[in-house]
Amino acid sequence: MSETFTAQSGSPSGPAFLPPGLLSRLESSGPRYTSYPTADRFVEAHGPEQHTLALAQRARGVGGASGAGSPLSLYVHVPFCESLCYYCACNKIVTKHHERGAEYLDLLDAEIDLWVKGLGGHTAASQVHLGGGTPTFLSDSELTRLVNRLKQAFEWLPQVEASIEVDPRTVDAQRLAHLKALGFNRLSLGIQDFDERVQQAVHRVQSFEQVQALMNSARDLGFQSLNLDLICGLPLQTPESFGRTLQQVIALRPERIALYAYAHLPQRFKAQRRIHTADIPLPEVRLQLHAQAIAAFIEAGYEHIGMDHFALPDDALAQAKRQGRLHRNFQGYTVQPDGDLIGLGVSAISRLGATYCQNAKTIEEYGDALRQHQWPVVRGISLGRDDLVRRATIMALMCQGRLDFQALADAHLIDPKQYFAAELAALAAHQEQGLVELTAHAVEVTPLGWFFIRSIASVFDRFLQMDGAREKFSKII
């Protein structure tokens, strides 16, 4: 962060470094680029056969795969939740029947068996993440069973980053101690907002005191990093109420903060139909809330990692950004080297080299395939040369904030200025707004531009420019 790029929150419309006019001009939707091409471009023609071929290519170290000896990232999707959060757009199953957890673990065992066979034996894991849904829907014994199975199938490296998403309403200090004993060293707590009226409007009530006690327990147990998730733009949020939430979050001093913008898409997500549209903040208020949060976090000493992520200066993510070591995968920003990712469970997405594949989204279809000893893959994509060039370009911007023309030319044997002539011309508008600097050698994202990195990266998205289908995605800020 440059010395001149400071937070000044005296204006009710937000900090001085985020001009209200700029916010409104760039107020649009766009992908989060945990992959390129994005998941909406996956096709059903890419199924189990293509996935098996990608595994074979990984074993031989061809086809853009990382190679058989490279450590993996693991993601396990646990879809169950005890209660419905009205804002949620995740793939989840709302149930109080906890016996379904054991049945689901049986299916995960079957999928893990397929992966072990397909990978050709024991493979190391440098990153493990349990998400959902609510992973802590599973009992302590079920979590033990799952973790032991993962450790049996994939060697957890000594410095493994093992994280789990936690609903504060489903854990206590004793459960946190169990998670620590299993090997988890990072926690992500879903908060969204501490205001009781907002919590009631989205059907997720949890007190500040409850979260504070859990965080104190987690720190006493030695968890390396705690993340809090917040959402701005929820029903009944106001600058005053959200300001109180921001101060409470800052008082808790989590190592990381994720600040998401609520996307109200009731036509796509049934749960959101329970939210009263009239209660949702107007667009100009939502922008004010977002700018307000950015100012508060920066003034409190947090560093902006990218998009909606913030971290304390001594956190691994902040250090990686300063050192140019950030990467991005389906788990978001990570310090892990760029490599293959295995997604386990319903709707989970895997990356193997130049391919992506996604599992069936319903537990019925997922289970049917596994009971027949078949991959539960229902769609995916194999990347062509242009996809690989654009993936490298977008990830360089998203993670390093810099597109080096010579590095791209050396890696992909292209002339970037000629290849991206139209895109570079389109970036002129971003340069005029102070978001990027275009030089003879590179595209450089400015400190201000980091807050609009999705807009900058989307210029290089061939699919998005081709059909302009931005309404599928959340707001870029």
Diameter of the chain by CA atoms? Answer: 62
Q: Read off the tokens for 440.
A: 């003879």
Tell the burial category of 85 from Cβ atoms under 10 Å away from its Cβ (0-12, 13-18, 19+): buried
Between CA 240 and CA 126 the distance in angstroms is 42
Annotated binding-site residue? 229: yes
Q: Read off the tokens for 229.
A: 């998730």
Phi, psi of 319 (to 5 degrees): -65, -40
Distance of CA 447 to the CA centre of its chain: 21
**Of all helices (H) and strands (E), which one includes residue 317?**
helix 316-322
Between CA 265 and CA 475 the distance in angstroms is 12
Residue 131 contacts residue 77 (beta carbons within 8 Å)? yes
Q: Read off the tokens for 233.
A: 């733009």
Annotated binding-site residue? 118: no
Annotated binding-site residue? 357: no
Residue 256 contacts residue 297 (beta carbons within 8 Å)? no
Q: Read off the tokens for 457.
A: 């990266």
Between CA 410 and CA 448 the distance in angstroms is 29
Strand partners, 303: 311
Strand partners, 228: 189, 257
Annotated binding-site residue? 134: yes
Q: Is 352 helix (H, G, I), strand (E, B) or coil?
A: strand
Annotated binding-site residue? 260: no
Annotated binding-site residue? 90: no
Annotated binding-site residue? 75: yes
- Cβ count within 10 A of residue 441: 12
What is the amino acid identity at position 142? E
Annotated binding-site residue? 232: no
> Checking phi first, is residue 236 left (phi over 0); if not, alpha (psi -120 to 50) or beta?
left
Report which of 1, 10, 134, 17 is spatially closest to residue 434, judged by C-alpha positions: 17
Annotated binding-site residue? 192: yes
Annotated binding-site residue? 204: yes
Residue 461 contacts residue 31 (beta carbons within 8 Å)? yes
- Cβ count within 10 A of residue 38: 20
Report which of 314, 67, 88, 301 is spatially closest to residue 190, judged by C-alpha positions: 88
Helix axes 99-119, 48-60, angle to 10 degrees: 50
Query: Which are the contacts of 456, defined by CB distance < 8 A and separation ≥ 6?
Result: 397, 427, 430, 435, 436, 445, 449
Query: Which are the contacts of 374, defined by CB distance < 8 A and separation ≥ 6?
Result: 48
From the annotation, which residues make up the binding site for [4Fe-4S] cluster? Answer: 81, 85, 88
From the annotation, which residues make up the binding site? Answer: 75, 81, 85, 87-89, 132-134, 165, 192, 204, 229, 263, 349
From the annotation, which residues make up the binding site for S-adenosyl-L-methionine? Answer: 75, 87-89, 132-134, 165, 192, 204, 229, 263, 349
